[in-house]
Amino acid sequence: MATRRPQIVAFGGGGFSMESENTLLDDYVLALTEVDRPRICFLPTASGDADHYIVRFYRAFGASRCEPSHLSLFRRETSVADPRAHLLAQDLIYVGGGSVVSLLGTWQAHGLDLALREAWLSGVVLCGGSAGSLCWFSEAVSGFHRGEPRRVLGLGLLPWSNAVHYESEGGRRGAFHTAIRSGMPPGYAANDGAALHFVGSELSQVVSSQAGARAYFVSPDAAGEVVERELPARYLGHDSARCAVAA
């Protein structure tokens, strides 16, 4: 199969960890691999490799429709002998939620930041929600730890900023506006149930698992005021997730 263009699907919130009875976003990212039984690796790093999270992943991604695996970095047994080689052999890498600060620091310590960039450039589809969304961007607003949401640096695969759970968790929207007004790059904000699908570094489309779930492009205008532009979203409940990806 020809090498796919780099793709990232950043959930504002959703997938198996938030919508156990709604598989639309998870079905969508599996279909992007264009493989009948794709290899998918779960990275639960942001949760400290929580056992319950890993169990829920395997329940959601059964062996009947994919080849699931996970990579633990906080355990004596990582479950994978060569993490870089394992990630590069996947069709889809799915990053779980939790603390994006802890996630990025741990990845860097283990060299996974470089391995994930390599996987992305080789055509492995990357996706995730919460911390698993924020991590791919140049900068983001994180509200995981106590206190006000704050700016954090991401991997920079996407040259934009990002905010998740945008209108469902108090303070995120205001913090994102403040950060952009203070010089953070313009970027994308998504609500629970909405997902931003990037091909290369550009947004291809917004898809949603919930009718009415919204996403925005947020940027400063000429006067320095922050402007939100709502983006059109395709509700996956009305269409097959096996769609052609926009060039």
Q: Does 165 qualify as catalytic in the annotation? A: yes
CATH number at residue 136: 3.40.50.880
C-alpha span between 196 and 137 (Å, rounded): 12
Identify whether the C-beta of residue 109 lies closer than 8 Å to the C-beta of residue 74.
no
Encode the chain (247 residues) as per-residue pLDDT tens digits: 457 899 999 999 999 999 988 999 999 999 999 999 999 999 999 999 999 999 999 999 999 999 999 999 998 776 788 999 999 999 999 999 999 999 999 999 999 999 999 999 999 999 999 999 999 999 999 876 656 788 999 999 999 999 999 987 778 999 999 999 999 999 999 999 999 999 999 999 999 999 999 999 999 998 889 999 999 999 999 754 333 333 2
Residue 71 belongs to a domain? yes
Say which of 17, 47, 72, 130 is annotated catalytic. 130
245 assigned to some structural domain: no
Question: Does residue 192 form part of some domain?
Answer: yes
Q: Show the domain range for 84.
A: 7-235
Q: 90: Cβ–Cβ under 8 A, 6 or more apart, which residues? A: 39, 40, 41, 69, 119, 124
The pTM of this model reads: 0.93
Q: Which residue is associated with the tokens 């992007």?
A: 32
In sequence order, the 6+-apart residues with CB closer than 8 A to the CB of 207 are 25, 28, 194, 195, 197, 233, 234, 235, 236
The predicted structure's pLDDT at residue 161: 98
Give a yes or no: residue 242 inside a domain.
Answer: no
Question: Structurally, how many domains does the chain consist of?
Answer: 1
Residue 186 maps to a domain = yes
Does residue 2 lie within any of the structural domains? no
Alpha carbon distance, N-terminus to C-terminus of the chain? 17
pLDDT of the residue at 239: 52
The residue from 70, 72, 161, 165 that is catalytic is 165
Is 22 domain-assigned?
A: yes
Supply the pLDDT for residue 244. 33
Residue 145: predicted pLDDT: 60
pLDDT at position 169, please? 73
Task: Tell me if residue 204 is catalytic.
Answer: no
Give dist(CA 197, CA 179) in Å, integer. 23
